[in-house]
């Protein structure tokens, strides 16, 4: 009979495409992993993997087997968590994915509350781009993810808990020191600094300001909001940041102006995304409440 361990070994081999690395991932010897996979293939009557001295390839039918294996292990995991529905929120470890334009601004706000209200909580944080986190949630590699909407989340539940607007960040000068509102026309005419491709915040900004992907030829790419702020301070241009980043990035810097965008809001919505059959909803609801409370307190 094929075992759950064999299924997990096969998925590790799929992930690494290398038997030695897969064995290390599973904390077993390479020979034990190879033996288990050989026995699994013998029971199935066909090969899942093609092997040579340099790499591992997945056969076409092997891909189907691995997808079934992934679904089976997810169902087993959900079965093991059924009892948690009646237990206290956050009483079991939970892994949360957070995108880079939210993590450094939201997490410092919620951790003090988390430690106070749920001292037993065991959180693991994974910081990644939205597309990668969506894939990880679907595969069961993480429990949930905090994303900025709109973003395609087909097959997942979206639990929205916050909304916010964007602010145009410029250096203070005689022209804009007292300016409170900025139009998209003003922004288009500036040397706008944006995050590089792959960040959903970039796409959100292009949509809100009605900028095409090719139109702002004067944009420069960066990998973090902090880098963008330093570029503005270096007189390289202007940028846009979400409201939750204002206090940590702007409040203590007298050289910068934060000007609200004169476009209908909210400019982005923040949500947890989870699998439809996820069983530990009490933990997600508790985290949502913590996030709302922390953000409301910081907005006062």
In tens, the pLDDT along 237-279 reads 889 999 999 988 988 788 898 999 888 878 899 999 999 988 8
Closest listed residue to residue 11, CA positions, set 68, 60, 78? 68
Interior CA angle at 207 toward 222 and 220, to 5°? Answer: 20
218 and 147 in a single domain? The answer is no
Q: Is the link from the previous residue into 266 a cis peptide, with omega within 30 of 0?
A: yes
Residues 256 and 293 in one domain: no
Pick from 22, 54, 80: which residue ends a domain?
Answer: 80
DSSP state of 196: P
pLDDT per residue over 131-159, tens digit each? 999 999 999 999 999 999 888 999 999 99
Do 93 and 154 lie in one domain? The reply is: yes
User: Regarding beta strands 268-274 and 157-164, do their DSSP bridges make them parallel or antiparallel, or are they unpaired?
Assistant: antiparallel
Residues 155 and 221 in one domain: no
Contacts of residue 247, defined as CB under 8 A and 6 or more positions apart, other chains included, come to 298
Residue numbers of the domain that contains 105: 89-163+268-299
Q: Which of 28, 47, 80 is the last residue of a domain?
A: 80
Considering only CA atoms, which of 32, 43, 50 is closest in space to residue 3?
43
* Tens of each residue's pLDDT in the chain, 300 residues: 889 999 999 999 999 988 889 999 999 999 999 999 999 999 999 999 988 767 789 999 999 999 999 989 888 887 777 665 556 778 888 999 999 999 999 999 999 999 999 998 999 999 999 999 999 999 999 999 999 988 899 999 999 999 999 999 998 875 666 678 888 888 888 888 888 877 888 888 888 777 765 444 444 567 889 899 999 998 888 899 999 999 889 887 888 989 998 888 788 999 999 999 888 888 999 999 999 999 988 776
**Which CATH number is 170's domain given?**
3.40.190.10
Q: Based on the fold, state whether residues 25 and 100 are members of the same structural domain.
A: no
pTM score over 0.85 = no
Q: What is the mean pLDDT of the chain?
A: 87
Looking at the fold, whether 159 and 170 belong to one and the same domain comes out as no
Same domain, 125 and 241: no
- Based on the fold, state whether residues 138 and 278 are members of the same structural domain: yes
Q: Give the CATH number, domain containing residue 43.
A: 1.10.10.10
* Domain co-membership, 15 together with 71: yes
Residues 138 and 273 placed together within one structural domain of the fold: yes
Q: Of 27, 45, 80, which one is at a domain's C-terminal end?
A: 80
DSSP per position, 223-244 = SSHHHHHHHHHTTS-EEEEEGG
In this structure, the answer to whether residues 212 and 249 fall within a common structural domain is: yes
| Pairwise CA distance, residues 118 & 105, whole Å | 20
The count of structural domains within the chain is 3
Angle at 240 between CA 236 and CA 246, to 5 degrees: 110
Residues 140 and 187 in one domain: no
User: From CA 277, how far away is CA 191, in angstroms rounded?
Assistant: 46
């Amino acid at each position: 009979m094929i075992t759950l361990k064999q299924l997990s070994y096969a998925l590790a081999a799929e992930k690494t495409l290398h038997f030695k690395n897969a064995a290390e991932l599973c904390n077993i010897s390479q020979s034990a992993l190879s033996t288990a996979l050989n026995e699994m293939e013998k029971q199935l009557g066909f090969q899942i993997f093609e092997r040579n001295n340099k790499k591992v390839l997945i056969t076409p039918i092997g891909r189907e087997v691995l997808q079934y294996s992934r679904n089976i292990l997810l169902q087993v995991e959900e079965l093991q968590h059924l009892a948690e529905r009646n237990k206290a929120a956050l009483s079991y470890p939970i892994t949360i994915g957070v995108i880079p334009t939210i993590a450094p601004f939201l997490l410092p706000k919620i951790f003090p509350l988390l430690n106070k209200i749920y001292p037993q909580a065991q959180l693991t944080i994974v910081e990644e781009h939205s597309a990668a986190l969506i894939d990880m949630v679907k595969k069961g590699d993480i429990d949930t993810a905090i994303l900025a909407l709109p973003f395609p989340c087909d097959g997942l539940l979206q639990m929205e808990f916050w909304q916010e607007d964007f602010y145009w960040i410029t250096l203070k000068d005689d022209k804009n020191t007292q300016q409170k509102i900025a139009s998209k026309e003003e922004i288009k005419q500036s040397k706008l600094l944006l995050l590089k491709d792959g960040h959903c915040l970039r796409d959100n900004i292009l949509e809100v300001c009605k900028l095409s992907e090719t139109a702002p030829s004067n944009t420069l790419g960066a990998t973090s909001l902090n880098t963008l702020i330093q570029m503005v301070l270096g007189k390289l241009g202007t940028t846009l940041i979400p409201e939750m980043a204002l206090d940590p990035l702007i409040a203590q810097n007298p050289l910068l102006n934060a000007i609200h965008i004169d476009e209908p809001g909210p400019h982005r919505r923040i949500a947890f995304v989870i699998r439809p059959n996820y069983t530990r909803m009490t933990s997600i609801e508790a985290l949502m409440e913590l996030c709302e409370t922390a953000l409301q307190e910081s907005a006062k």
